[in-house]
Amino acid sequence: MSTLGTARAVPGDWFPGTIPDNARLDEGAYVETSYSFSLCRSRMRPAVTMGEGASAYLGTMFDVGESGRVRVGRYALLNGARIICDGRVDIGDYALISWNVVIMDTYRVPVDPVLRRRQLRFGPPPAAERGERGVGSRPVTLEANVWVGFDSCILPGVTIGEGSIVGARSVVVGDVPPFCIAAGNPAKPIRSVREQDRSP
Ligand SMILES: CC(C)(COP(=O)(O)OP(=O)(O)OC[C@H]1O[C@@H](n2cnc3c(N)ncnc32)[C@H](O)[C@@H]1OP(=O)(O)O)[C@@H](O)C(=O)NCCC(=O)NCCS
């Protein structure tokens, strides 16, 4: 059974908030605290989808702008990731996202200094979003069975192919093909996931 259309409290939550009514949690999906949704401003329905058995642990933040949509696939696990989404972020089934990973489909901050000044005059986010931001978004896709090591950063427009691994503290600026281990800044392929390490 999935839930959409009602704001829900998380049993035993330390944060006095609720999971917003436009977040869809499928059967067995787990969210440790509603604080994860405190930056979710999306008006989309659904704004965040968590598939069957997906989980979001402490430190995970859905920082989703008004038109943003995030999908977390079945049994995917987010262990303290920050997802910054103004358009589309798609995390595949069984993806494993480690501590302090940032996945962003937008930089949020304009390159133009005049626009940056205007944004700063509006105050800190989310008030800053009322200013003209002049920043677009490019969808980010992590396909099924991707594993992203801790402290890594996935930048706008990136697709990481099925079964690939991103090494700890990497900055991923371009696409990573399927079954590839990529690492570094900028992330480069270091080797393939061996055939014997792939399930039939
Ligand atoms: C990506 C990873 C899994 C690869 O492990 P591995 O296959 O044993 O790789 P190796 O240690 O043999 O390294 C292979 C090469 O890649 C480089 N490399 C590995 N990880 C790297 C990283 N994170 N950043 C930069 N370079 C890296 C190594 O220096 C080595 O380079 P060399 O061939 O020039 O000597 C591992 O390095 C890693 O980053 N693990 C993170 C795990 C994690 O985040 N766990 C949290 C719990 S979910």
| Average pLDDT for runs of 10 along the chain of length 200 | 76 95 96 96 96 97 95 98 97 98 93 86 68 79 98 98 98 98 98 82
3-state DSSP assignment of residue 31: strand
| Mutate which of 79, 99, 190, 193 for ligand 1 pocket (most atoms within 8 A of beta carbon) | 190
pLDDT at 128: 59
* Euclidean distance between CA atoms 121 and 195, whole angstroms: 54
pLDDT at 126: 63
- C-alpha 48 to ligand 1 mean position (Å): 31
What are the extents of the domains in the chain?
23-158
* Euclidean distance between CA atoms 10 and 19, whole angstroms: 7
pLDDT at 4: 72
pLDDT at 3: 66
If phi > 0 it is left, if psi is from -120 to 50 it is alpha, else beta; for residue 100 that is: left
Residue range 23-158 in CATH 2.160.10.10: yes
- C-alpha 80 to ligand 1 mean position (Å): 21
pLDDT at 109: 86
pLDDT at 125: 65
